Chains A and B, each alone.
Chain A
Amino acid sequence: MIWNEEFETLPREALEALQLKRLKNLVERVYAAVPYYRKKMEEAGVRPGDIRELKDLRRLPFTTKEDLRLNYPFGLFAVPFEKVVRIHASSGTTGKPTVVGYTKSDIDSWAELMARTLSCGGAHKGDIVHNAYGYGLFTGGLGAHYGAERLGAAVIPISGGNSKRQIMIMQDFGSTVLMCTPSYALNLADVMKDMNVDPKTLKLRVGLFGAEPWSEKMREEIEKRLNISAIDIFGLSEVMGPGVASECIEEKHGLHVFEDFFIPEIINPETGEPLPPGERGELVFTTLTKEAFPVIRYRTKDLSRLIPEPCRCGRTFYRMERITGRTDDMLIIRGVNVFPSQIEHVLMSIEGVEPHYQIIVDREGALDIVEVQVEVSEEIFSDEVKVLETLARRIEREIKDLLGISCKIKLVEPKTIQRSEGKAKRVIDNRKL
């Protein structure tokens, strides 16, 4: 069901008129209120009055994580501090976190966006939403929570961790919608298996998964093992949190970007040039309505492409293809660009191979050495050495065929690869470059 028929099905022309109006207003607000943005615009030789059409967006400078870091913690807030009602932060991999703020109106928009997301994924009033996204500084928990309340569903604010208790509550409370990271969904499936809980006896119907990249194969795995429909949702705290884009249950192909709130662009990550719809590159967002923490052309480092073709669900918003990698977790191995998702794809195309793997990169002399650790499931295990060795060689060959790199497959015992209750750590790069 479409939560907000009026906006989500706007004809393209009306949508673009609305975007332009909001964009002009955004640039004026930011220029007036944030010295740092004003300075960047002046350096780029652009003033608010120069934004006359939507395509003038490309005249504005990009915003990067580095800009956010330089203004830690509140330097890019665009409203007087007494208007800020909420602060979130995302853990930085190095040093200080990225801090974002929300006004009352921002929180209200966010609830609207997450209600749309839930609705897009097939949830509705009367559902019991099992919200296993972490509550706290992370935007996932509270973002999903407010959206579920706005939708009129009953939220179980269970947060992450303690999987056995989560499953007991699913059984006893009759949770119908699951929200968590996709790797945590697989962790729940593992624990259910250990507890001898048959997912068919649960009331779960749909899961909305995000906050980390995952693959089509992983979706199949989750859908099969949890007996649900799995939906990919997207967001990032710098732009809003969850609620930036969502797949519709009708197509499950590409995530509708809520374009009345955000303008997506795809750029060439090396040159910064905007690419035409359909081409693959780095995803960039401009927030149109955010008050406390607006961003202009924020570079996400996520790789995607826009799908401009109409969708049968009736939403007119462009879809973005599921994230296929990040510009910065792209591994360069012996000069070849490799994304962990490509290796995952190979593994999951082999019957019985567990989606639990880890890629370890080392450097011996001048040579990059790649080891992929794969857990041995009961399905692929054999009492004969040659069967397991043949399997390992087959995976090596398929990775070589697809990616053009040689790697070594190491078979490991189940559950030796760290099962995160949050984001899965897929790559360990030990190279000192």
Chain B
Amino acid sequence: MKVEQISIFLENKSGRLAEVAAVLAGAGINIRALSLADTTDFGILRLIVNDTGKAKQILKDNGFTVGRTEVIAVEVPDRPGGLAHILGVMKDQGINVEYMYAFVQRSGGNAVIIFRFDEIEKAIAALQKAGVVILKGEEVYAL
């Protein structure tokens, strides 16, 4: 049910994002989804890739600080209220969404959104109970 995400610490210097992309491209790694959270001083780049272990190692070898986190990928029906429903479930359960971002690829016509929750197990249980489709890791890496 969980998807592995890598995160990379970036200083706000021009060209660093391009370097990450170049390092991954050089190792033949595909980026499936990405989001960049930034402050005035630094940024955190979060990536879903087709080979998490290899991506982490190659980035470390190139001097980046890299972390690994578990997130979940949820199919959101492509109609008004699709996202509101999911967020409503979380609110009712008192689960915090740390951050979320959209996947580029769609899954059978539906949008895919990555969620980082503070209580991942509880979130999975609540979403499943509410009938929300959660994608498996292998499905996501191959999208």
Using CB atoms and an 8 Å cutoff, list the residues of chain A in contact with chain B.
376-378, 381-385, 388-389, 410-416
Complex A-B: 18 CB contacts under 8 Å: A376-B42, A376-B65, A378-B65, A378-B67, A381-B9, A381-B66, A382-B7, A383-B67, A384-B99, A385-B37, A385-B39, A389-B39, A411-B42, A413-B11, A413-B16, A413-B64, A414-B64, A416-B11
Q: Is B65 a contact of A383 with CB atoms below 8 Å?
A: no
Docked complex Cα distance between A410 and B44 (Å): 14
Which residues of chain B in 1-47 are interfacial with respect to chain A, using CB atoms and an 8 Å cutoff? 5, 7, 9-11, 16, 37, 39, 41-42, 44, 46
B110 within 8 Å of A (CB atoms): no
| Contacts A381-B7, A382-B67, A414-B64 supplied; 16 other A-B pairs, CB < 8 Å | A376-B9, A378-B66, A378-B67, A381-B67, A383-B7, A383-B69, A383-B116, A384-B116, A385-B39, A410-B41, A411-B9, A412-B11, A412-B42, A413-B9, A413-B11, A414-B63
Tell me, in angstroms, the Cα distance from A415 to B37 when the chains sit together: 22
Whether A413 touches B39, Cβ cut-off 8 Å, given contacts A381-B9, A383-B7, is no
**Residues on A with beta carbons closer than 8 Å to the beta carbon of B16:** 413
In this assembly, does B98 line the interface, its C-beta being within 8 Å of a C-beta of chain A?
yes
- Shortest Cβ gap from B76 to chain A (Å): 22
Identify which of residues 78-125 in chain B touch chain A, using a CB-to-CB cut-off of 8 Å.
98-99, 116
CB-CB < 8 A to A381: which residues of B? 7, 9, 65-67
Distance from A42 Cβ to chain B, minimum over Cβ atoms (Å): 60
Cα separation A384 to B42 with both chains bound (whole Å): 12
Which residue in A377, A384, A415 is a CB contact (below 8 Å) of B98?
A384
Number of B residues contacting the other chain (C-beta, 8 Å)?
21
Contact B5 A383 (CB under 8 A): yes
Name, among B11, B16, B116, the residue most crowded by chain A CB atoms within 10 Å (CB to CB): B11
- A411→B41 contact, CB < 8 A: yes
CA distance A414 to B44 in the complex (A): 14
Which residues of chain B have C-beta atoms less than 8 A from A412's C-beta?
A: 11, 42
Decide: B63 and A385 in contact? CB cutoff 8 A: no
Would you give the shortest CB distance from B34 to chain A, in whole angstroms? 12
Q: Determine if A388 and B42 form an interchain contact, defined as CB atoms under 8 angstroms apart.
A: yes
User: How many angstroms from the CA of A377 to the CA of B64 in the assembled complex?
Assistant: 9
B43-58 Cβ-contact flags toward A at 8 Å (1 or 0): 0101000000000000
Closest to A386 in B: B98
Q: How far is the CA of A384 from the CA of B5 in the complex (A)?
A: 12
Task: Please give me the residue from chain A that is nearest to B9 by CB atom.
Answer: A376
Interfacial chain A residues near B5, Cβ < 8 Å: 383
Give the CA-CA distance A385 to B67 in the complex, in Å.
13
Check if A413 sits within 8 Å of B10, measured CB to CB: yes
List of A residues within 8 angstroms of B46 by Cβ: 383
Given A383-B44, A384-B99, answer yes or no on A377-B65 (Cβ-Cβ < 8 Å). yes
B44 proximity list for chain A (CB < 8 A)? 382-385, 388
A376 to B67, CA, bound (A): 11
Interface centre among B9, B39, B99 (most CB of A within 10 A): B9
Complex CA gap A416/B5 in Å reads 25
Chain B residues closer than 8 Å to A411, beta-carbon distance: 9, 11, 41-42
Closest-CB distance, B51 to chain A (whole angstroms): 19
Residue of A382, A383, A385, A388 with most chain B CB atoms under a 10 A cut-off: A383
